A and B are shown apart, each in its own frame.
Chain A
Amino acid sequence: MEASDILEMNDIEKSFNGVPVLKKAHFALRKGEVHALMGGNGAGKSTLMKILTGVYHKDAGTILLDGNPVELATARQAERHGIAMIYQELSLIPTLTVAQNVFLKHESRAVGNVLINDAESGRRAKLLMEELGHPVDPRTPIEQLSVGMCQMVEVAKALAKKARILIMDEPTSSLTDAETEILFQLVNRLKRSGISIIYISHRMSEIFTVCDRVTVMRDGTSVRTDECRNVTMEGLIESMLGKGRSVAFQWQERDYQGSERPVLEVHNLSVEKGRGPVSFSIYPGEIVGLAGLLGSGRTEIAETIFGMRRAHDGTVSVNGKAIHTTREAINAGVGLVPEDRRTQGLVLDHSLLANFILPNLEFFTRGSFVRDGAGARAATDFIQRLRIKIRGPEAPVRLLSGGNQQKIVLAKWLERKPRLLMLDEPTMGVDIGAKSDILQIVRDIANGGAAVLVISSELEELLAMSDRILVIHDGKLVHDLNRKDIPSEEMLHHAIQD
């Protein structure tokens, strides 16, 4: 153990129903460092963190805090040792105020410890928020705050409990770019005050921006711990996936069948009054990336093409037919994998089969009746083809990982053999293994002759897939770049920012 380590987890083992999930995993954290924890789904990251927060109990191994062995048998004990988790899905109560949330179950008391001293709680909450650099009236109800502010309150809540080890699980997944920037500043501020942060994220670029060290887990054990400045993105991907599986992330110049007739023609489209216009076409077999800042109108353009929104002005046509409604779009062979698979892509409480059949009902009916058997056979086919990890087509989709859920949304549309498939942030919150699968699936779709439109905030992903990249600013097309003419991610980054 190094002198500066405040936490050391050694030879941690854990099995569920006889299946080992952690096999002699190691993790060490220094005081005042930001330490990235990476790995695909099933690598054991979240199990390891749940052991640290007292949610699970380890089968074997030792945990040292400041060099002393500790038992973290309950969440309460972990909390007392100063370990706190900032949850991915925020755990604040929207109707209560900032102060009430920060001190929930730890309220300042008055009158012989009976009544809650709101004034005192408010004063302390205000102080905490000021320390975080984000003063806010502690009487503000949470529901009036932005997602970014909510996250600040979450952090304040952890600090109120004297946390010194903070675990952040995908903290930027629901933040805008500006909020992400603010979060990074906060992380640095916390770090300087001596708090250690375990940072879990699928987004490579963030790791390099905010983290000092990185530990990669694979198959239940830690395979690598390094200073961030000593690792490359390719190296990290390779560590996470195992040898030779990182090719999906490299651009391959594609030789797609040229065609004179575009599948999609967007002409002078403005999605809202005062935004746009944008005109572009996509040809069969072509993968076009749509880049731009959050709020630049990328999603709106895709949704207008899909008929979910009414165009303010301009026209959209697919294979020469004008599109106004979702029905028309679907009938013309358009599919949309929406931005948020949990609220827009799937009925979470329903089975894979029910979700899969929903946009394909006309293929699976005879007379008036739905043919579930045929649907199940087709769904089973996709389970194998797309490598979806699920017990079977009848299993519900709620508890599946993001990657598996996303593959189901893809299967819904692939069954229709789309002429134009649009994907909005297809790999957001998806683990690295599934990400590599999804990139390959998208290429396969295009190789099959479909036109593909990909929206993504992850530039390396756009650059890996696209034949052409359109840069959108305020609903307007500002650059139409051939992939061959983009030498680096830097250049694309500048094209988007300007």
Chain B
Amino acid sequence: MSDWRPSASIEQLKRRAELLAQARAFFAGRDVIEVQTPVIAKDSVTEPDVQSIEVPGYGYLQTSPEYQMKRLLAAGMPSCYQLGPAFRHGEQGRLHNPEFTMLEWYRLGFDHNQLMCEVADLVDTLLGPKPYQRLTYEDVVGKSEGRPRDALDLAFAEACERLTPGRFFITDYPADQAALARINPDRQTAARFELVIDGIEIANGYWELLDADEHRQRFKTDKEIRRQRGLPEMAVDEVFLAALEHGLPECAGVAMGFDRLVMLGVGAKALSDVTAFRGS
């Protein structure tokens, strides 16, 4: 007989509903507007380590609402958040699911330090207050120069797992791991941060890069890495670049894995314990 029952208990799903409501109330109290952008779009990200799920004839399921939310910001939308599904091809495990719930928000006029404070406020609201420690990327894995990127990624992942228990903000990522964060004045590090709670990566945020040409340059580098690794070719999202050329306001943004946060909130060990059904 097929197993039709939910992978989470009804009790945990009720708790999840409470956390969703609390998160929305948190943003309502700070005048951060909820927005909804399409889950399917013509283009997706060029990032070599994030794979998109193609929807033939339509485009791609979005790996995050980042580009579309930034288009809203460029068009005059004030600080806003989105709480909805995001999709990543091939990510499956205790802490991964190809479809997951992402909470992403952008704050006009904030830098990454101000945004980290707000991330901590939200987590305190949802999980209860606890102290936060701040570490640099170098504190976590040591010097990154000259080390191959794959070895560094594994060392970082394993070092984060050992940051347990507790809440840690990791800052000052190497400039070549800036993603879409701006580069710090030292030219070596990026204004990017991550939140790790009890060894689990929860959020990733930037003081957002604004320069359209710099974006184009980074996408070109992504595409070159994709080509070298034999990964599917991804077109650059020209619509997103057009919005950047029009002008993205000064802002900081962050994406949070909401399912993982719920998992920590209810003391579960796997994502499937807090999602209605296990991913396929």
A, B co-complexed: no
B interface with A by C-beta (< 8 Å) = none
